[in-house]
Amino acid sequence: MTHLDFIERTKRFLENREPFFFIVNFEKSKVHAYTYEDAFEKGILFDINGKSNAPKGKDNLQVSIVPEIEVEPFPFNSYLQGFEKVVQNLKMGNSFLVNLTFPSKIVSPLTLKSVYWKANAPYKLLFKNEFVCFSPECFIKIKDGYVHSYPMKGTIDATLEGATNALMGSPKEQQEHHTIVDLIRNDISLISRDVTVKKFRYLEKIKTAKGEIWQTSSEIRGKLGENWQKDFGRLLLKMLPAGSISGAPKPQTLKIIDEAEKYQRGYYTGIFGIFDGNTIDSGVAIRFIEKKDDGFWYKSGGGITHQSNVKEEYIELINKIYIPTV
């Protein structure tokens, strides 16, 4: 589907108040918009804050065990090369924040479909037999003429002594979060007015198969124009890729990411969402398992600033390899 097709189709769905699903990959080279039924027929299942196109019943393949993942982490020496490329650009002033990601090989007896049913997350997606995503991060929500975004930056093991104080008091985490809030505020101002930070750097706890983690988020809001529905597709593409998984300033940072990562992210760190007939709700495609000919790959990463420590960032990349459970 071309960008023009995407824009026209989403416009038609919104004008008819017809629920639909949409997805855009990181590079914006693949864009899709389908009715709930068409998505299901194509092998796409989603559950976005409890709103799903998946039929309930015996086909749900519920899993009674906690998923076990055997991880073969992305090699540290290779990570170091990418990290040093990022730091070099940070020192040169080409960027203030770079989201650096890499794929790690994982082994699990579960299928993508069983992971989809077992995982507990606000933004879940099974895309054919290609990948499964169980993201905690919202991209944007649109309701009553307002666009909301909730950028997420900063995580820590909740079992550590003084975890919340360590997370909230870390200069590196503070800088990273301030930078991403400024970036998202700028992105929202591209499509709306009266942009404000409604809530800054609040804590949320997530349960995972490895244990609980704390994360920090903020809420940013802007007022859309009266006829935003007619231009939704174009407005959406204008904001992409999401600032929280790229960096700032965005154009130059995307070049740095391409040089440092040396792989195509594809749908990982893209966005997906729905229009339910009244509101738009969408998530960032992180916490992501991709199926390839040689097995399963889990893509993960984090934000790098001039205060980042390579060993700590590498550990964070590994710690984000998990399946969230009830």
Which one has a higher pLDDT value, 10 or 162? 10
CATH of the domain at 280: 3.60.120.10
Residue 156 has a pLDDT of 75
Q: Is residue 211 part of a domain?
A: yes
Q: Tell me the pLDDT band of 164, cut-offs 50, 70 and 90.
A: confident
| Percent helix / strand / coil, the chain, rounded to 5 | 35, 35, 30
Cis, peptide link before residue 249, omega less than 30° from 0 = yes
% of the chain exceeding 70 in pLDDT: 93
Reported as a single tens digit per residue, the pLDDT across 21-73 is 999 999 999 999 999 999 999 999 999 999 999 876 545 555 555 567 899 99
Q: Is residue 176 part of a domain?
A: yes
% of the chain exceeding 90 in pLDDT: 68
The span from the CA of 126 to the CA of 132, in Å, is 4
Task: Give me the DSSP letters along 63-118.
Answer: --SPP--EEEPPPHHHHHHHHHHHHHHHHTTS-SEEEEEEEEEEE-SS-HHHHHHH
Q: Is residue 90 part of a domain?
A: yes
Domains in the chain, number:
1
Q: Is residue 326 part of a domain?
A: no
Q: Tell me the pLDDT band of 302, cut-offs 50, 70 and 90.
A: very high
Residues in the chain: 326
Residue 35 has a pLDDT of 98
Q: Is residue 325 part of a domain?
A: no
Q: Are 33 and 1 in contact (CB under 8 A)?
A: yes
The span from the CA of 31 to the CA of 267, in Å, is 10
Question: Residue 284 is part of which domain span?
Answer: 3-319
**Cα→Cα distances 21→135, 231, 288, Å:** 16, 16, 19
For residues 109-132, average pLDDT:
92
Q: Is residue 97 part of a domain?
A: yes
Which one has a higher pLDDT value, 119 or 32? 32
Residue 58 has a pLDDT of 42
Reported as a single tens digit per residue, the pLDDT across 213-229 is 787 888 999 999 988 99
